[in-house]
């Protein structure tokens, strides 16, 4: 794996032995986050078969330059595909290129082929045939996010105004402006007027059978040699990252289909790529490899003038979420703080995102004990660069990871723990959680139902609220008790009293978080002065809303820029 950059896009080249290259056009938004590590495994599979493979982030997504608010996003994405193909031809030395598009990547690959001319081969994996349908799915996802926020935090949260205009959509933390949605709705593969490739393979999902059949017939009318197969394992593949399964049968079939075109090709030498740097506004970003056998990957984001007397920010992943953060939260924060003069590092622990473990481990198990060693390896690398003070910033599981590292490593000067879960989830914690949420639900529902004259139906709906809350609390408690992954090496009493000997800490909770109930019932925070607690009334657990992310950014800025002396640690 070789990091590269082209036309403001960041990517990875997986070198191969032949001059038949493959460009992977991935999905967008939450789908891309979920499949990122498995997509990497697929790229390595193709490279091991002899085909140089390039995977990359579209402009305005991932680690690439730009943001979601820029005009002409859809055109920029298709232009990124064309730039990737040109880079493979000009820099990697390949003479023939195949495009592999997954979900939204399929119509983007076809749109790029209009500029590139006919490409050698095209693979469409569960393609988005109708952009109008895809835009409708994004709107439904936004409604689902609001419903989940209502279930967790109370109905009053959903009634608050959205941070975007009425025509914008914010799905799973990713913002699609009205212009982007309009351009997406214009994508229709049935309107393709020229053959994008002479040989095309389509892996279709069951929900799109009829649309794919019409699309395949349309391609045949244009003169393409079209092969159709079912996308075996698609449903398990597109699950959330910690549940997703590598579709071995489907991807092995794609590799075999592409290999028949590369077997007769000539050899190519891996290109010598210079040091890669991206230059977003006001900062410089550099991909780094560190850890044992350089298996860990991260992006160091530095201001144009680096200062060693200010702390370095480390953004920690939330269990299976890559170093980008949900909705690119860590990317936008890192670039914002770089403009304020702070260096930062966002990276993946082993087995997540771009920290690759090997073909034999497509679904590795990420444990807290192993992740602690990865964070300490990141601290070692930063210390070798001349930095001495470090601030750990983690969300949920990442907050648990940050707190565990700070217990073991005195180099951590400050920490920002966001929605920190309890050290060990208990039924008592969830009883507090259910009691509080039930009280809010009953209070808000009663204001509505008491105006109705149908007493029986009103009390029936109130009973439904009670049963729903009790059921959710019981299921959540059973799940966390079964998972049982508390702070390793720290007993229950030490976990409760943890903050009595910690350095400066900013605790940020959304209203209704289970960890907040344990914290409020503990005497740990009440007896110390180096812990600051902030509760967000209108937030959600993964910070899907851009307004919540802005508030969180302001809290972190105030915390790290406040003048304070180096933290005091008592002797152990």
Query: Could you read off the pLDDT tens digit of each residue along the chain, which spans 572 residues?
Result: 899 999 999 999 999 989 999 999 999 999 999 999 999 999 999 999 999 999 999 999 999 999 999 999 999 999 999 999 999 999 988 999 999 999 999 999 999 998 898 789 999 999 999 999 999 999 988 887 776 665 554 433 333 334 445 688 999 899 999 999 999 999 999 999 999 999 999 999 887 778 889 999 999 999 999 999 999 999 999 998 888 899 999 999 999 999 998 766 666 766 666 679 999 988 999 999 999 888 999 999 999 999 888 999 999 987 789 999 999 999 999 999 999 999 999 999 999 999 998 877 777 666 788 899 999 999 999 999 999 999 999 998 999 899 889 888 889 999 999 998 876 554 455 455 555 555 555 555 555 555 554 555 555 655 665 665 565 555 555 544 444 444 443 444 444 445 544 678 899 998 878 777 767 666 555 556 678 889 988 778 889 888 899 999 999 999 998 844 444 343 33
Q: Which of 500, 312, 315, 493 is nearest to 399 (CA)?
A: 315
Query: How many domains is the chain partitioned into structurally?
Result: 4
Q: Which of 165, 186, 207 is the last residue of a domain?
A: 186
Q: Which residue has the tokens 């370095």?
A: 312
Q: Are residues 258 and 115 in the same domain?
A: yes
DSSP 8-class letter at 571: -
| Whether residue 237 sits in one domain with residue 319 | no
272 falls within a domain: no
Give the DSSP per-residue string, 123-172. Answer: EEES---BHHHHHHHHHHHHHHHHHHHHHHH-HHHHTSPPSS-TT-EEET
- Whether 42 and 86 map to the same domain: the answer is yes
Q: Are residues 122 and 135 in the same domain?
A: no
Q: SS3 helix, strand, coil % of the chain, rounded to 5?
A: 45, 20, 35
- Examine the domain organization and report whether 404 and 439 are in the same domain: no
Domain that holds residue 337: 283-423+491-561
Task: Look up tokens 């049935």; give the residue.
Answer: 190
Q: What is the pTM of this model?
A: 0.85
Instruction: With beta carbons less than 8 A apart as the criterion, state whether 300 and 343 touch.
Output: yes
Q: Which of 186, 215, 250 is the last residue of a domain?
A: 186
- Cα–Cα distance between 284 and 67 in angstroms, integer? 16
- Domain contains 275: no
Last residue of a domain, one of 167, 186, 205: 186
């Amino acid at each position: 794996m070789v990091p590269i950059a082209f036309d403001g896009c960041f990517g990875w080249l997986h070198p191969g032995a032949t001059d038949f290259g493959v460009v992977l056009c991935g999905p967008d938004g939450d789908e891309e986050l979920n499949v990122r590590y498995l997509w990497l495994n697929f790229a390595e599979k193709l490279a091991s078969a002899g085909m140089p493979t390039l995977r990359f982030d579209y402009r305005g997504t991932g680690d690439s330059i730009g943001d979601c608010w820029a005009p002409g996003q859809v055109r920029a994405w298709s232009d990124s595909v064309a730039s990737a193909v040109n880079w493979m031809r000009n820099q990697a030395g390949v003479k023939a290129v195949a495009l592999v598009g997954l979900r939204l990547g399929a119509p983007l690959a076809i749109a790029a082929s209009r500029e590139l001319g006919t490409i050698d081969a095209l693979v469409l994996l569960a393609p988005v045939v109708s952009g109008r349908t895809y835009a409708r799915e994004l709107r439904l996802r936004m409604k689902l996010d609001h419903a989940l926020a209502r279930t967790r935090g109370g109905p009053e949260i959903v009634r608050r105004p959205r941070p975007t205009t009425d025509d914008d959509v914010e799905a799973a933390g990713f913002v699609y402006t009205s212009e982007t949605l309009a351009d997406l709705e214009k994508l229709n593969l049935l309107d393709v007027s020229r053959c994008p490739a002479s040989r095309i393979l389509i892996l279709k999902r069951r929900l799109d059978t009829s649309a794919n059949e019409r699309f395949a017939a349309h391609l045949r009318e244009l003169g393409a040699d079209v092969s159709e197969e079912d996308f075996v394992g698609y449903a398990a593949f597109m699950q959330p990252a910690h549940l997703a399964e590598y579709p071995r049968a489907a991807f092995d079939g794609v590799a075999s289909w592409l290999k028949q075109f590369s077997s007769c090709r000539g050899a190519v030498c891996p290109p010598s790529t210079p040091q890669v740097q991206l230059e977003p506004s006001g900062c410089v970003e550099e991909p780094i490899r560190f850890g044992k056998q350089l298996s860990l990957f991260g992006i160091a984001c530095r201001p144009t003038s680096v200062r060693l007397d200010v702390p370095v920010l480390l953004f920690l992943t939330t269990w299976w979420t890559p170093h980008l953060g949900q909705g690119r939260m860590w990317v936008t924060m890192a670039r914002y703080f770089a403009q304020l003069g702070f260096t930062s590092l966002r990276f993946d622990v082993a087995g997540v995102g771009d920290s690759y473990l090997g073909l034999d481990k497509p679904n590795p198990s990420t444990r807290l004990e192993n992740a602690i060693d990865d964070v300490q390896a990141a601290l070692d690398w930063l210390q070798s660069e001349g930095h001495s003070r470090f601030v750990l910033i983690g969300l949920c599981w990442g907050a648990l990871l940050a707190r565990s590292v700070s217990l073991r490593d005195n180099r951590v000067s400050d920490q920002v723990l966001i929605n920190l879960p309890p050290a060990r989830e208990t039924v008592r914690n969830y009883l507090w959680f259910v009691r509080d949420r039930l009280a809010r639900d009953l209070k808000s529902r009663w204001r509505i139902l008491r105006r109705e004259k149908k007493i029986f139906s009103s009390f029936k709906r109130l009973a439904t609220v009670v049963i729903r809350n009790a059921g959710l609390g019981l299921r959540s408690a059973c799940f966390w008790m079964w998972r049982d992954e508390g702070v390793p090496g720290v007993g229950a009493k030490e976990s409760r009293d943890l903050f009595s000997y910690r350095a400066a800490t900013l605790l940020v909770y959304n209203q209704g978080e289970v960890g907040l109930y344990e914290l409020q019932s503990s005497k740990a925070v009440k007896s110390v002065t180096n812990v600051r607690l902030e509760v967000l009334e209108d937030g959600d657990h993964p910070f899907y809303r851009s307004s919540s992310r802005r508030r969180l950014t302001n809290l972190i800025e105030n915390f790290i820029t406040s003048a304070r002396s180096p933290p005091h640690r008592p002797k152990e």
